[in-house]
């Protein structure tokens, strides 16, 4: 189901608070990304919210955030989370947008410098059922584009040689947690309505 683009937008501070709760309880709390704690603790994660509900709005916001991240001192801004709380409830529509997002990255000549990782409340890996708990590794309260520095990934992998095993460890963690355990984390939108 697609969100009504004319619906009252979720306040920016609520979107950020919801995303921060997800980051602390799920991503860091379950250790789904061992590299998230340091930039979080140092205040190096930038949170941006796209207020528009159309593809062009999100791509314009993505372009601006990619340029800002590339220009920023990594000691000040290590990574960016760009949330889109309106207009992207359908996961397949959001997933289709990723080719356009990669085209923006290429147009800015930032391939090899930055990369984009997608998160969505209904994220579904190819070949999995919608209710497969392993999809939760990429489920966030709102459709989100995570902008990551390639150099940060290289440093993290060098410091954590077991990085290749993170995916498998995450699958095992979530399978042990189960749907009830995931629901108990309470990491969905808290504004009284989901983006579902």
Q: What is the pLDDT of residue 162?
A: 73
Average pLDDT (165-177) is 89
pLDDT digits (tens, 9 = 90+) for 151-166: 988 887 777 777 678 8
Vertex 45: Cα angle to 43 and 46 (nearest 5): 115
Q: What is the pLDDT of residue 8?
A: 65
pLDDT digits (tens, 9 = 90+) for 90-120: 999 999 999 999 999 999 999 999 999 999 9
Domain ranges of the chain: 12-185
pLDDT digits (tens, 9 = 90+) for 41-87: 999 999 999 999 999 999 999 999 999 999 999 999 999 999 999 99
Q: What is the pLDDT of residue 51?
A: 92
* Among the listed residues 55, 71, 53, 41, the one whose alpha carbon sits nearest the alpha carbon of residue 9: 53
Residue with tokens 């529509």: 93
Show the tokens assigned to 147: 């902008």
* Among the listed residues 122, 6, 107, the one whose alpha carbon sits nearest the alpha carbon of residue 59: 107
Secondary structure, 3-state, 142-190: CCEEEEEEHHHHHHHHHHCHHHHHHHHHHHHHHHHHHHHHHHHHCCCCC
User: Under DSSP, is residue 33 helix (H, G, I), strand (E, B) or coil?
Assistant: coil
Instruction: Report whether pLDDT(2) > 60.
Output: no
**What does pLDDT average to over the chain?**
90
Rounded to two decimals, the pTM is 0.90
């Amino acid at each position: 189901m697609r969100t009504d683009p004319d619906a009252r937008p979720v306040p920016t501070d609520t979107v950020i608070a919801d995303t921060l709760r997800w980051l602390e309880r799920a991503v860091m709390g379950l250790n789904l990304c061992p590299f998230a704690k340091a930039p979080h603790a140092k205040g190096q994660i930038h949170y941006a919210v796209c207020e528009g509900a159309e593809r062009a709005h999100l791509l314009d916001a993505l372009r601006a955030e990619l340029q800002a991240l590339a220009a920023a001192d990594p000691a000040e801004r290590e990574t960016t989370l760009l949330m889109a709380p309106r207009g992207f409830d359908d996961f397949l529509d959001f997933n289709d947008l990723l080719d356009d997002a990669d085209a923006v990255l290429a147009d800015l000549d930032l391939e090899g410098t930055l990369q984009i990782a997608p998160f969505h409340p209904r994220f579904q890996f190819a070949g999995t059922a919608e209710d497969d708990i392993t999809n939760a590794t990429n489920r966030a309260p709102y459709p989100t584009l995570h902008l990551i520095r390639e150099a940060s990934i290289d440093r993290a992998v060098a410091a954590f040689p077991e990085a290749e095993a993170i995916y498998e460890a995450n699958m095992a963690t979530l399978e042990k947690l189960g749907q009830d355990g995931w629901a108990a984390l309470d990491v969905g939108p808290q504004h009284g309505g989901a983006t579902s």
